[in-house]
């Protein structure tokens, strides 16, 4: 097993934040390797990246390789005819943003205009027609996690992200931002270790609204690592604990996705066989079932700490929800019955999660 796969169960105990540095370094190493082999070997791209990297501090360069938008562009373009062109356009756009005078960038409470070009960090938008730039200043200050309502990662149809986008307004933003910030603070108060892993693994929290649905949802995608998506968090019934649960849930998927890039759990993600989740009752493919085991394990450990610390009804509800699958003998037996797909080494790891 690689370091990430071996360490992930320990990480999800949330007793130590040692994994935060392990995760960050493995993630950066993976993308740096892709850069060296596929991008910097191209003369024009190498020269453009040299210019771009000279505009970064060492800390900014470190974070550059963790940006969700960079991951999305690379992992949706690799192997395609326009791969080099898309990377070139990306570098040229970033150089354009780097040339902007900070005094001309407007801090905006609401950014909703057509024809905006967003930077890789998804916090600055540039209108090439009006020569105007806008900055999204919504973020959690201690972690630096961006709360993204506006960028091209947040608006419109997004691959792997459910539901639609019915638009944004200042009242929706005003009712949501304090809740998201409070949810991150809640995670810190429950588990500093979990909080530090969150800070290391998640760059931005996208917030979307679909007013045709009167309920909350959350999501993430393996093509855009470092991103958590919250949908309709403004609703009155969505508590701080609900948002904390969603953020930890999707953070775990992000961690697992990086581990899988180093060592896939299964030879292929596509199997006709399905497995019934002992947590939700949904029928899952084997890969999704394994991810669910890890995710519910992390949530169980988080809510054990939260219930011990706060002893609230919501903490108890989420603890029961996360624990129930592990209380059933089905949890590992299901995996053993799929041993032609799920190998013995992985079954042993799943048994450790009990």
C-alpha–C-alpha distance, residues 247 and 220, integer Å: 10
6 pLDDT above the threshold of 80: no
Angle subtended at Cα 160 by Cα 36 and Cα 153, rounded to the nearest 5 degrees: 65
Residues 184-242: tens digit of each pLDDT: 999 999 999 999 999 999 999 999 999 999 999 999 999 999 999 999 999 999 999 99
**Strand 139-140 to 145-148 pairing:** antiparallel
C-alpha–C-alpha distance, residues 123 and 152, integer Å: 10
149 pLDDT above the threshold of 60: yes
Domain boundary assignment for the chain: 3-7+21-263, 264-354
pLDDT of residue 241: 98
What's the mean pLDDT in 275-286? Answer: 86
Question: Higher model confidence: residue 267 or residue 64?
Answer: 64
pLDDT of residue 354: 63
Residues 307-328: tens digit of each pLDDT: 999 999 999 999 999 998 887 6
List Cα–Cα distances, 274 to 28, 257, 285, 289, in angstroms: 34, 20, 5, 9
C-alpha–C-alpha distance, residues 182 and 176, integer Å: 10
What's the mean pLDDT in 278-294? Answer: 86
153 pLDDT above the threshold of 60: yes
What's the mean pLDDT in 168-191? Answer: 98
Q: How many CB atoms lie within 10 A of CB 108?
A: 15
Mean of per-residue pLDDT scores for the chain: 90
121 pLDDT above the threshold of 80: yes
162 pLDDT above the threshold of 80: yes
Cβ 271 vs Cβ 212: under 8 Å: no
Q: How many CB atoms lie within 10 A of CB 273?
A: 12
C-alpha–C-alpha distance, residues 2 and 61, integer Å: 26
Confidence of residue 19 (pLDDT cuts 50, 70, 90): confident
339 pLDDT above the threshold of 60: no
**79 burial class (0-12, 13-18, 19+ CB within 10 angstroms)?**
exposed
pLDDT of residue 329: 53
Question: Higher model confidence: residue 85 or residue 277?
Answer: 85
C-alpha–C-alpha distance, residues 47 and 53, integer Å: 10
C-alpha–C-alpha distance, residues 296 and 327, integer Å: 12
Confidence of residue 60 (pLDDT cuts 50, 70, 90): very high
List Cα–Cα distances, 100 to 94, 127, 132, 161, in angstroms: 10, 12, 9, 32
C-alpha–C-alpha distance, residues 302 and 319, integer Å: 8
Confidence of residue 115 (pLDDT cuts 50, 70, 90): confident
pLDDT of residue 275: 81
**Residue 281, by phi and psi: left (phi above 0), alpha (psi -120 to 50) or beta?**
left
Confidence of residue 163 (pLDDT cuts 50, 70, 90): very high
Confidence of residue 157 (pLDDT cuts 50, 70, 90): very high
Low-confidence winner among 62-71, 196-205, 289-298, 344-353 (lowest mean pLDDT): 344-353
């Amino acid at each position: 097993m690689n370091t990430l796969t071996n360490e992930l169960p320990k990480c999800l105990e949330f007793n130590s934040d040692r994994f935060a540095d392990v995760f960050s370094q493995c993630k950066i190493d993976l993308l740096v390797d892709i850069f060296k082999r596929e991008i910097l070997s191209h003369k024009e791209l190498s020269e453009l990246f040299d210019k771009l990297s000279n505009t970064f501090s060492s800390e900014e360069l470190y974070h550059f390789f963790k940006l969700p938008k960079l991951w999305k562009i690379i992992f949706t373009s690799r192997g395609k005819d326009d791969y080099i062109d898309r990377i070139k356009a990306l570098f040229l756009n970033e150089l354009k943003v780097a040339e902007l005078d900070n005094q001309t960038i407007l801090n905006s409470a609401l950014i909703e205009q057509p024809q905006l070009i967003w930077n890789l960090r998804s916090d600055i938008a540039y209108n090439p027609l009006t020569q105007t730039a806008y900055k999204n200043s919504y973020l959690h200050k201690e972690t630096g996690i961006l709360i993204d309502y506006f960028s091209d990662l947040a608006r419109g149809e997004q691959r792997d992200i459910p539901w639609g986008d019915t638009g944004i307004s200042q009242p929706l933003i005003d009712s949501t931002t304090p809740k998201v910030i409070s949810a991150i603070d809640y995670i810190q108060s429950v588990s500093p270790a979990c909080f530090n892993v969150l800070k290391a693994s998640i760059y931005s929290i996208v917030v979307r609204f679909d007013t045709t649905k009167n309920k909350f949802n959350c999501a993430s995608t393996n093509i855009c690592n470092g991103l958590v998506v919250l949908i309709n968090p403004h609703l009155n019934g969505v508590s701080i604990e609900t948002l904390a649960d969603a953020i930890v849930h999707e953070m775990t998927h992000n961690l697992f996705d990086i581990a899988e890039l180093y060592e896939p759990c299964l030879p292929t993600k596509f199997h006709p066989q399905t497995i019934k989740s002992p947590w939700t009752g949904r029928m899952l493919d084997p890969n999704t079932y394994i991810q669910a085991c890890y995710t519910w394990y992390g949530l169980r450990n988080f809510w054990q700490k939260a219930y011990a610390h706060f002893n609230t009804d919501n903490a108890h509800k989420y603890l029961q929800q996360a624990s129930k699958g592990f209380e059933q003998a089905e949890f590992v037996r299901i995996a053993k019955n799929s041993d032609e797909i799920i190998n013995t080494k992985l079954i042993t790891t799943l048994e450790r999660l009990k």
